[in-house]
Amino acid sequence: MGNIIIKNAAQVVTCSGFSGKRGREMSDLQVIENGTVIVTGGIISHLLQQGEPIPVDEQDYEVIHAEGKALLPGFVDPHTHFIFGGYREEEFSWRMRGDSYMEIMQHGGGIVNTTRATREATEEELFASGKQRLDAMMQLGITTVEGKSGYGLDRETELKQLRVMRQLNETHAMDVVPTFMGAHATPTEWKGREDAFIDFNIREMFPLVAQEKLAESVDIFCEKDVFTLAQSRRYLTAARDHGFQLKMHADEIAPLGGAELAAELRCLSADHLLQASDGGIRAMAVAGVVATLLPLTAFTLREPYARGRTMIDAGCIVALATDLNPGSSFTASVPLLFALACIYMQLTPEEAVTAFTINSAAAINRAGSIGSIDVGKQGDLLLLQFPSYKFLPYHVGMNIVETVIKRGEVAI
Ligand code: NIG
Ligand code: FE
């Protein structure tokens, strides 16, 4: 809970707001030039325009001189699967040879492969690799990360993944927001009994996860040959009854109507959306479902990018995420994420910044406390080596984050 003054930043890119921004609102970053930000006791206490006197005793504060540098809110990554055992480097070669992600999954690879390794891993091993991944993400400016279970697919291992995330949240500077994803795939022992597996999650897992408060949201992989729309509706409706927020992996590979279902159920977010229909996009805009786009996954799988431009023009709240996982996106590269979002999904740099700060905070129900530089919010900030946020997509693939501040303390 630190006290810090960041003085005379070339830009204070506030992204000001307390809820997700839709459509045209995403273009306005509310930049203060040559501004100063003060964090007191871990919370942003003052935003000063150029020349305004410092209203606190500087002796009680760490002072950073930020001339020539842009100051932004810490990045929020609202979709990852960062707790997992093992790796799947062979599958990368198979995909380059021409096998598709779904073919590999149908032949016993994919998520089920990682499930085997995650079941075998000890809690200590998952904690150690999870910690390393959080360290790497923080270097890239991420200060809050959502993480999903879903590589256990049995009672014990799902709880193990969620407990490791709780432990990391308590011990690491990163804030970790856990999501239960019991319906990520059907494990071998339930194959052919998908409906019964959904029932198992509803009857046994939801009450356990709710009781121990191990997750805030529940997610499902709604996809052709994974879980149907009807199964997703049943699972998510039951999750809501247990008090969870709802998330969906929707319309990733096949256009199934996932976006429409997310709107119908008023999900907090629908994620991927590469194949979302025009009607689905309109429905998400009307329902206020956050459309979380994952360009690193489309890139890795060589799939067409989600129609980010169309979604923003339709009035959607668009967020960005890395999807860090061992299969479809083994990367948390924020620099590449910004470049792909702008170059291939046709977001402007302003929209991309909004999508990875205040809108990604909205995707995990945190827009009231993080995701912007507003008085009263958590003091999670980052300084760039350059004077403008525009360098984020422009300096392709390069990490230009120089300093990361978490709750008012320098973390990187
Ligand atoms: O978001 N699509 C489903 N889930 C992950 C991939 C998980 C994996 O392949 O291990 C995703 O892309
Ligand atoms: Fe995912």
The whole-number pLDDT of residue 337 equals: 99
Q: Are residues 324 and 213 located together in one domain of the fold?
A: yes
Residue in the block written with tokens 């007191």: 40
Q: Are residues 224 and 98 located together in one domain of the fold?
A: yes
Ligand 1 contacts CB of residue 185 (under 6 A): no
Q: What is the dihedral of CA 265, 256, 231, 87, to 10 degrees?
A: -110
The whole-number pLDDT of residue 1 equals: 86
* Model confidence at 176: pLDDT above 90: yes
Q: Are residues 88 and 157 located together in one domain of the fold?
A: yes
Q: Are residues 135 and 172 located together in one domain of the fold?
A: yes
The whole-number pLDDT of residue 30 equals: 98
Looking from the CA of residue 272, the nearest atom of ligand 1 is 1
Ligand 1 contacts CB of residue 327 (under 6 A): yes
Ligand 1 contacts CB of residue 323 (under 6 A): yes
What's the CATH code of the domain at 346?
3.20.20.140
The whole-number pLDDT of residue 108 equals: 84
The whole-number pLDDT of residue 125 equals: 98
Neighbours of 334 (CB within 10 A): 23
Q: Which of 325, 330, 331 to mutate to test the pocket of ligand 1 (most atoms within 8 A of CB)?
A: 325
- What whole-number distance in Å separates Cα of residue 290 and Cα of residue 319? 7
Specify burial of residue 15 (Cβ count, 10 A radius: 0-12, 13-18, 19+).
Answer: buried
The whole-number pLDDT of residue 349 equals: 99
- Coil/strand/helix, residue 35: strand
Q: Which of 103, 256, 274, 323 to mutate to test the pocket of ligand 1 (most atoms within 8 A of CB)?
A: 323
The whole-number pLDDT of residue 146 equals: 99
Ligand 1 contacts CB of residue 252 (under 6 A): yes
Averaged pLDDT of the chain: 98
pLDDT band, residue 137 (cuts 50/70/90): very high
CA of 221, nearest ligand number: 1
Per-residue pLDDT of 59-88, as tens digits, reads: 999 999 999 999 999 999 999 999 999 999
- 82 CA distance to ligand 2 centroid (A)? 10
Per-residue pLDDT of 378-394, as tens digits, reads: 999 999 999 999 999 99
The whole-number pLDDT of residue 178 equals: 98
pLDDT band, residue 283 (cuts 50/70/90): very high
Q: What residues contact residue 241 under an 8 Å CB cut-off, 6+ apart? A: none
Q: Are residues 51 and 85 located together in one domain of the fold?
A: no
* Model confidence at 359: pLDDT above 90: yes
Say which DSSP state 154 is in.
S
Q: Are residues 178 and 310 located together in one domain of the fold?
A: yes
- What whole-number distance in Å separates Cα of residue 69 and Cα of residue 260? 42
List alpha helices for 191-348, DSSP H: 194-200, 206-211, 229-241, 258-264, 278-287, 295-301, 308-313, 334-343
Q: Are residues 45 and 114 located together in one domain of the fold?
A: no
Q: Which of 151, 184, 303 to mutate to test the pocket of ligand 1 (most atoms within 8 A of CB)?
A: 184
The whole-number pLDDT of residue 257 equals: 98
- 321 CA distance to ligand 2 centroid (A)? 9
Q: Which of 219, 293, 297, 328 to mutate to test the pocket of ligand 1 (most atoms within 8 A of CB)?
A: 328
Q: Are residues 143 and 178 located together in one domain of the fold?
A: yes
Q: What residues contact residue 178 under an 8 Å CB cut-off, 6+ apart? A: 146, 147, 148, 149, 162, 165, 166, 169, 214, 215, 216
pLDDT band, residue 139 (cuts 50/70/90): very high
The whole-number pLDDT of residue 162 equals: 98
Per-residue pLDDT of 178-221, as tens digits, reads: 999 999 999 999 999 999 999 999 999 999 999 999 999 999 99
Q: Are residues 262 and 241 located together in one domain of the fold?
A: yes
Q: Are residues 85 and 69 located together in one domain of the fold?
A: no
Q: How many domains does the chain divide into?
A: 2
- Atom 6 (ligand 1): residue with closest C-alpha? 328
Specify burial of residue 388 (Cβ count, 10 A radius: 0-12, 13-18, 19+).
Answer: middle
pLDDT band, residue 57 (cuts 50/70/90): very high
What share of the chain has pLDDT > 70, as a percent? 100
- 89 CA distance to ligand 1 centroid (A)? 15
What's the CATH code of the domain at 58?
2.30.40.10
Ligand 1 contacts CB of residue 297 (under 6 A): yes
Residue in the block written with tokens 């809501």: 240
pLDDT band, residue 400 (cuts 50/70/90): very high
CA of 150, nearest ligand number: 1
- Atom 3 (ligand 1): residue with closest C-alpha? 221
Q: Are residues 252 and 323 located together in one domain of the fold?
A: yes
Ligand 1 contacts CB of residue 380 (under 6 A): no
Ligand 1 contacts CB of residue 85 (under 6 A): no
Please indicate, yes or no, whether the overall pTM of this predicted structure exceeds 0.85: yes
Q: Are residues 311 and 191 located together in one domain of the fold?
A: yes
Residue 101's domain comprises 76-362
Ligand 1 contacts CB of residue 258 (under 6 A): no
Across the strands, what pairs with 72?
A: 382
pLDDT band, residue 404 (cuts 50/70/90): very high
